[in-house]
Structures are given as C-alpha cells and as structure tokens.
Amino acid sequence: MASEVGCNREHESNQEGDSESKDNEDDYVIDGTVKYKTDTSIWRELPESAWGYVPFKTISIESVEVSQVGWYPLREEIYTLLTNVSATTLLMNFYSRNVARRLLQTISFGLRSALILVELSKGIDKKPILHPSQLMKFDVVAYMGEMSMFSNDLLAALDSHYTLLTVSKE
C-alpha cells in the first residue's frame, strides 16, 4: 500500500480582476488529504473521518508526499496523522524550512530510505533542514531549490560519515 499526504488549496477568484488586491487568508481553504493505492494505477482518497480508524503504525507505507501550499502552515491533524507513519520515501514540497524540519521529526523512517526535498522559498535560513543524526537513515537525499539555501545542509551532510555527494545542474 502506498500513501500520499498533502495539502490542497482552493482560492476564490477575485470577481473584479484587480491584480493588486491582497490575498485574504479567508479566501483560502487548506485541506489535508490521504490517498492510497492498491495497484499501480489507481489512487483512492481516504476521507478524513476515517483517518483515526486506519492503523497506520501497522501498515507498510512506501511513499509519503507532502506539499505545503504557499507560506500557510500545515494543519495539526496532518502532523498527528504522520506521527503514526513510517515511510520508505518522502517527497516534500515546502516554502517554510520550519515546516520541513517539523515534518522530518514527525515521520519515522527505516534505514535506506529516500528523501526528496523541493524547496520553493527564496529567503535565507541558516539552520540546516537535516541534522547529521537524521542523515544516517537516508540512502538518498535529493534537493531541488536555491543552492544558497542548501549550503548549510550540505555542510551538515559533509560532517556525516555517510555522505556520497553528487551534484547536477538541470
């Protein structure tokens, strides 16, 4: 069984088409979804009302995908759900490094896991996303984003005894 956890955003369009209007927090609906797949082609959504009844601790979850919508924080229910999840692969699209750090502390990983980080922010945050002790769990760590943001993460990785570094520009 594979699992995907994400946040979706629905935005009410501005009727007047005013491009300079500020987005109002009330215009957004932040919503978490859990989807599962029993074969290779069909994803089915698990209603939030059923989340508490699924024994995530006993299910082998292959993949978790978390997408932060803009700078909006994830709902606490998402973190609560993910405390029961142990995954092999995590794909994370994020704007806030604090959200990324919290997610990495929330989800459990076995040895030889894969982590794919897609950083969408442009600001500078000097604290690394991963601590060297967390790096030991991952066989693969892929990073996409501003390389200036990744420098502290890279230095933390180089301090680890488990580092193989490959850099490619796309």
Q: Where are the domains of the chain?
A: 2-8+25-158
- pLDDT recorded at residue 157: 67
Please indicate whether residue 8 or residue 152 has the higher confidence score (pLDDT): 152
Lowest mean pLDDT among 92-101, 102-111, 128-137: 128-137
Lowest mean pLDDT among 4-8, 63-67, 130-134, 166-170: 4-8
Rounded to an integer, what is the distance from CA 121 to the centroid of its chain? 14
Q: What is the pTM of this model?
A: 0.69
pLDDT tens readout for residues 19-47: 333 333 333 334 566 776 666 667 777 78
Q: Which residues contact 33 (CB under 8 A, 6 or more apart)?
A: 4, 5, 6, 7, 8, 45, 46, 48
Tell me: pLDDT of 10 over 90.
Answer: no
Please indicate whether residue 31 or residue 121 has the higher confidence score (pLDDT): 121
Q: 3-state DSSP helix/strand/coil percent for the chain, to nearest 5?
A: 25, 35, 40
Q: How confident is the model at residue 9 (pLDDT cuts 50, 70, 90)?
A: very low
